[in-house]
Amino acid sequence: MTTTAPPFGRALCAMVTPFTDAGALDLDGAGRLADHLVTRGCDGLVLSGTTGESPTTTDTEKTELISAVREAVGDRATIVAGVGSADTRHTTALARAAQRAGADGLLVVTPYYSRPPQDALEAHFREVADASDLPVMLYDIPARTGTRVEPATLLRLAGHPRIVAVKDCAYDLLGTQRVLSRTDLAYYTGCDEYALALYATGGTGYVSTVANVIPGRMRAILDAHDAGRTAEAARLQLGASELIEAMMAAGLPGTVTAKALLHHLGLPGGPVRAPLRPAGREAADGLRAAYERLAADVTG
C-alpha cells in the first residue's frame, strides 16, 4: 500500500435528490442544497446513489441533476455520479451520459437481483470502467444487492487504471484491511458509524448520508484526526452516534430520515418517491430530538 491523493476528496455527502411537493425533480433545490453542503465542509458530492433515490429517477433526471449541481458548486467539490444498475448495457450508457453532463467520477454499485458470480461481476465492472474516461468508485453493499464484491475480486480489479476507489458497506473490516494493505484503492466508508474507524486504519474518508444534515460535524471528525487530536476525533464520532443510529439503524431508510430532517432545517429535500414513504410523526419527532441534542453539544 502506498499513500495517494484522495481521488474524490475525503468528506463526501451521499446527497438526497430534492423533489418538489408535486414529486418532480427540483433542480433549483438541488443546487441550493449542494452549495450548502459544500460551504459547510463537503469536498465531494455523490449523486444518484442509494440516498439519492436512484431506482426511482429517470436517466434524464440523473443527467439533469449532475448538470445543475455542477453549475451550483463549480470546481469547489467533486461530483461522483451513481450510474449502477442491474444491466451492464444500461450502466455503461449511464456512465457515458454522466461524463457528458460534467461528473468527475462514477459510483458503480454491484448489479442487484440477478446475483452474478464473481467472474461475471468482475467483467461487469471492467466493462463499465472502459465505457468512459472517468475514474470509478465501486460500491460494495451486499445487504442491498445480494452479492458481495469479494476481497479477491477487488484485488484483481485494483489493477484497472480507472478503478480507483471503493465505497465500503460490506461490514467486513478484516476484508477491507486485506485490500487496503495490498492495493492503492481509496476506501470510503458508506457506513457513518465507521467514519473514524476506517479513516484511522488507512481509509480515505466517507460517503455519508448523515452529512446531509451535519456536514460540518462529520468533516470535523476527519480534521481532528488529521491534526493528531485523536481523542477529540473519537469524541466527535461518539457524540454523533445517537443521530447516526436514529437516521441509519432505526428501521427507516436513510433517504427518509435525511429528508425528514432537511425539512426540519428548512433545506431542500422535499418528499420521497414511492415505494418509500415519509417518516411518521413519532419517527420525525425522534429524529428532530436527536438532532437538537447534537446541535446543543458544545463539548466538541
Could you list the active site residues? 139, 167
State phi, psi for 237 to the nearest 5 degrees. -65, -50
Give the C-alpha separation, 251 to 246, whole Å. 9
**Which 3 state secondary structure label does DSSP give 206?**
strand
Alpha helices in the chain (DSSP H): 27-39, 59-73, 88-101, 118-129, 142-145, 151-157, 173-182, 195-200, 215-226, 230-239, 241-248, 254-265, 281-295
Residue 251 Rama label (left phi>0; alpha psi -120 to 50; beta): left
- CA atoms 154, 172, 141, 12: torsion sign: negative
